[in-house]
Structure 1
Amino acid sequence: MVFSKRIGIDLGTANVLVYVKGRGIVIKEPSVVAVSTKDGSIKAVGAEARDMLGRTPETIEVVRPMKDGVIADYVITEEMLRHFIGKAAGRFSLGGPEVMVCVPGGVTTVEMRAVRDAALNAGAKHAWLIREPLAAALGAGIPVSAPSGNMVIDIGGGTTEVAVISLNGIVVGNSVRLGGNHIDEEIMNYMKRSYGLIIGDRTAEEIKIEIGSAVPLPEEEKKTMNVKGRDQVTGLPRTVTVTSDEITEAIAEPLDSIVNAVLVVLEETPPELMSDIIDKGMVLAGGGALLRGMDKLLAERTGIPCCIAENPLDCVAIGTGMALEHLDVLRDSLIED
């Protein structure tokens, strides 16, 4: 008897994480593909392709096939999935693996079909889809099957998902196409506007990680960073020193939008579930959870305690894999092929 492998895929805007039953997360690579401009052939996928960003000749183009949590380039996404499924399942997996892919809560039927078809065409035997907030809740260890309200906020690269979950389903949800990548863009815009310095998205992400904060830091914790870039006027290299307070100011607008998305869900939450959420607090997952003070900002603006999931970056991938192990219980909440 041949046992089909079961694979959970967090197909994110910034990164792809692959979970294999019994082995945990086996792949964690950027959602980046290097393509030949001559014949469209794939030159590199993942970390290898990301290392080529900004360093390629005119014969190679480096692209991100996912945008705001959904497929922007179907053909390249399919090739990227084929690469990662093959890497995780092995080339000699007969019949193809069973695959669970997570999708943002606000995707359209057409977008869901595109993800499912891409997984099937990339070699999956069966493909199920799970909504991202439910996967994040499972991965964070939240008891989603209980008749009790649980609130999860998942801030990814391209989307932010907010949901109240009870009895294995999403009772109230909100999905905004705004995440870590948009925060990076605001930092790039700020550097250009305030210093006349042009920086790339990788440098912007480094600034966010190194000195970024959702709330102003106490005086003794304030940070500075030397940032290298290209002078907008002269075109020559230049270095400037930036403070954590400046970055807090620069990223205030996208963070306000994330807070507003949370407030919308709280306003629509039934009173019985709201009582549960006030008692338990909110759980923060995704890469955006790692931004300094993000939990404090949400707690201050909502009046509800907020804690960060134990493994925020991996929550969705772990939950996607766990969903495959509980298909019988979760089937009503999944989208099947």
Structure 2
Amino acid sequence: MGMSRLFQNLSPDIGIDLGTCNTLIYVRGKGIVINEPSVVAVERGTKRLLAVGEEAKRMLWKTPGEIVAIRPLRDGVIADLETTEKMIRYFIEKVFSKRWLIKPRMVIGVPSCITEVERKAVEESGYKAGAREVKVIEESLAAAIGADIPIYEPAGHMVCDIGGGTSEISVISLGGMVVTNAIRIGGDEFDEAIIKHIRNVHNLIIGEQTAESLKKNIGNAMPEGKIEKMEIKGTDAITGLPRRLEIDSVEVRESLQEPLVAIIEEIKKTLGETPPELAADIVERGIVLTGGGALLKGFDKLVAKETGVPVFVAENPLECVAIGAGLYFEYEKAMQKSRLGNP
């Protein structure tokens, strides 16, 4: 067994989906080992780490003065490098309590719309968290690998990854991105649109968690036969007192129109920029939806209706980016073999 093979067997490949809302970590041979909110709680002033992930999320918007809960990523981008680094290191140490024999290789999925400086920051946080090699790849490429799309074929595949902070639409052929567009609109903007609507229409102020549960429980992108209702609690914008309110699914759908239209426009724009031969493949094979946004009821039907192209939701849309990042090195090896003509 060669030295490099030995290295590989002793140190796992780690795939990370560094998401605005959740961070997922995939370890080759073990599957998804971490799926926790991208939230860190620190002590004000000293910046001492108090909690990370699920525990820190419970502290969001509920912290006493001396504790600050931070979401270190905004719109798929590192807003706070130091905290992101602490978060990645914490999650990795949680999974691997023992020190490495050999440091792992790490692949991190990022939105294609980030700048070179932001990309470097992600890479640096990987090295500081203990990787021997860090590769930063586009989220939609990782999502395509994770969704088991045969991206190395000479055929066009379209992937639409709707995350918490960004939506990325890419056409992939022969293992590379032919066209890619990304916008900083995702699940977070869905929540914000619901908050804004309820404040404007009902004078009720609700928090992000309430908006998120409305979206998940009764949100939809296309009218459905049954109208669902849900009771929410918030603060009256005029009196400042707590108040209850019943909201129905029609109203939630109306409030989501703006971000949904923006994403659909981006999908149409990407289809318009796709070379005709690859566009013909996409019409035949369809568009694959990944990311948390793919779980919004009726979103696949809306995209199909607006584009005239069949649409499929990936099997585990939330996990595709992390899985694909974790399998990236294997894919790259297969790709090089096929390019050299070795079966």
**SS of equivalent residue, structure 2 residue 152:** coil
Residues in 2 aligned to 1:29 and 1:79: alpha-carbon distance in whole angstroms: 14
Aligned counterpart, 2:170: 163
2:51 match: secondary structure: strand
- State the alpha-carbon separation in 1 of the partners of residues 131 and 145 from structure 2: 23
- Asked if residue 252 in structure 1 is aligned to residue 257 in structure 2, the reply is yes
Report the alpha carbon displacement of residue 10 of structure 1 after superposing the two structures with TM: 0.4
**Is contact 1:18-1:88 (8 Å) kept?**
no
AA partner of residue 63 (structure 2): T
Deviates more, 1:116-125 or 1:21-30: 116-125
Task: Quote how far apart the aligned CAs of 1:232 are.
Answer: 1.0
Match of 2:275 among 270, 279, 294: 270
Q: Is 1:50 matched with 2:57? A: yes
Look up the equivalent residue of 1:133 and give its one-letter code. Answer: S
**Matching of residue 19 in structure 1 with residue 11 in structure 2:** no
Which residue matches 1:73?
A: 80
Letter in 1 for 2:281: D
Structure 1: how far apart are the matches of 2:288 and 2:141?
12
Measured in 1, the distance between the counterparts of 2:275 and 2:121 equals 33
Cα separation, 2, equivalents of 1:96 and 1:35: 28
- Partner amino acid for 1:205? E
Please give the alpha-carbon distance, in whole angstroms, between the structure 2 residues aligned to 1:115 and 1:70.
Answer: 9
Structure 1 range deviating more: 229-238 or 253-262: 229-238
Find the aligned partners of 2:201 and 2:334 in 1 and give their Cα distance: 53
Partner SS state of residue 140, structure 2: helix
**Where does structure 1 lack aligned partners over 5 or more consecutive residues?**
332-337
Quote the residue 1:104 is aligned against: 111
Q: Give me the CA root mean square deviation.
A: 1.2
C-alpha separation between the residues in 2 aligned to 1:248 and 1:216?
8
Pairwise CA distance, 1:235 = 1.5
Q: Say which SS state the counterpart of residue 173 (structure 1) adopts.
A: strand
**Scaled by the length of structure 2, what TM-score is found?**
0.94
Deviations 1:137-177 (A, max 9, x none): 11111000100000010000000010000000110110101
CA shift, 1:242, in A, is: 0.6
Q: Which amino acid aligns with 2:256?
A: I
Identity value in percent: 49
Q: 1:56-109: CA deviations, max 9, x gaps?
A: 110000010001111000110010011112223333213422111011112211
Structure 1 residues 76 and 68, CA gap change in structure 2 (3 angstroms): same
SS for the counterpart of 1:102 is strand
Q: Deviations over 1:256-295 (max 9, x none)?
A: 0000110111001001001100011111110000001100
Any conservation in 2 of the 1:15–1:31 contact (CA below 8 Å)?
yes
Instruction: Give the TM-score normalised by the residue count of structure 1.
Output: 0.95
Gaps of 5+ in 2: 1-5, 337-343
Runs of 4+ residues over 3 Å off in structure 1? none
CA distance in 1, matches of 2:224, 2:232: 20
> How far apart in 2 are the matches of 1:232 and 1:144?
51
Deviation of the 1:184 alpha carbon? 0.1
